[in-house]
Structure 1
């Protein structure tokens, strides 16, 4: 059965061809969302599925609850590594300042279902 992630990947690749995805793994411990690790992936096909992503993320050795993917599609193909690293560092800083930035990407739980960070009203 296809996950929301699988549908997203297939649609993004169909619309744009190869692209770079900036990826941020997070732990969710309400009311906090904590960034754990980040990387970038050059996507050159839509053959990988959510199970493949989980296997890849196992290498991080992090207990994660969500993964946000930020597709970099405006440059007509995967980014050069230096450019991808620079964009990832800028994204990490933005997320440290405001967790709602995670909603600008495509955010998935450990089952590949869509997630959204919601702002909590102060008491």
Structure 2
């Protein structure tokens, strides 16, 4: 499959460089100026055959309207066991709840698979 989105390029490059890995995923709503976490999950990446269209269709099955997805590739130990992935996901959710800028530690994509970044709004 030829990469067609920023997500496709990220997935292909990450898999090529690291092999199989677990990704913690957080679906978000983007309503400027806020980014709000909606749902989270984890998945094991075993190849780069899944494109953004397939991933977006999977997320649509979550039953919630979403505007973006953040992927936190866990590259330190290969694919994680389910319990370890759940524990890391819960810790990530807590950190993200306290500070939305944690999103920038992952790879953030909009509903079209384009790369995004959260910017801090200065207090006036």
Q: Classify the TM-score, shorter chain.
A: over 0.9
SS of equivalent residue, structure 2 residue 79: coil
SS of equivalent residue, structure 2 residue 115: coil
Q: Which runs of 4+ in 1 moved over 4 A?
A: none
User: What is residue 50 of structure 1 aligned with on the other side?
Assistant: 52
User: What is residue 68 of structure 1 aligned with on the other side?
Assistant: 70
User: What is residue 103 of structure 1 aligned with on the other side?
Assistant: 104
Inter-partner Cα distance in structure 2 for 1:16 and 1:30: 34
SS of equivalent residue, structure 2 residue 114: coil
User: What is residue 12 of structure 1 aligned with on the other side?
Assistant: 14
1:37 corresponds, among 27, 36, 39, to 39
SS of equivalent residue, structure 1 residue 38: strand
- The count of corresponding residues between Structure 1 and Structure 2 is 122
Deviations 1:2-30 (A, max 9, x none): 10000000000000100000000000111
Give the structure-2-normalised TM-score.
0.96
Structure 1 residue 68: Cα displacement: 0.3
Structure 1 residue 59: Cα displacement: 1.3
Instruction: Indicate the RMSD between aligned Cα atoms, in angstroms.
Output: 0.8
Structure 1 residue 46: Cα displacement: 0.6
Inter-partner Cα distance in structure 2 for 1:58 and 1:26: 12
Inter-partner Cα distance in structure 1 for 2:123 and 2:32: 14
Give the structure-1-normalised TM-score.
0.97
Unaligned runs of 5+ in 2: none
Structure 1 residue 31: Cα displacement: 1.2
Deviations 1:8-60 (A, max 9, x none): 00000000100000000000111111100000010001100000101110111
Unaligned runs of 5+ in 1: none
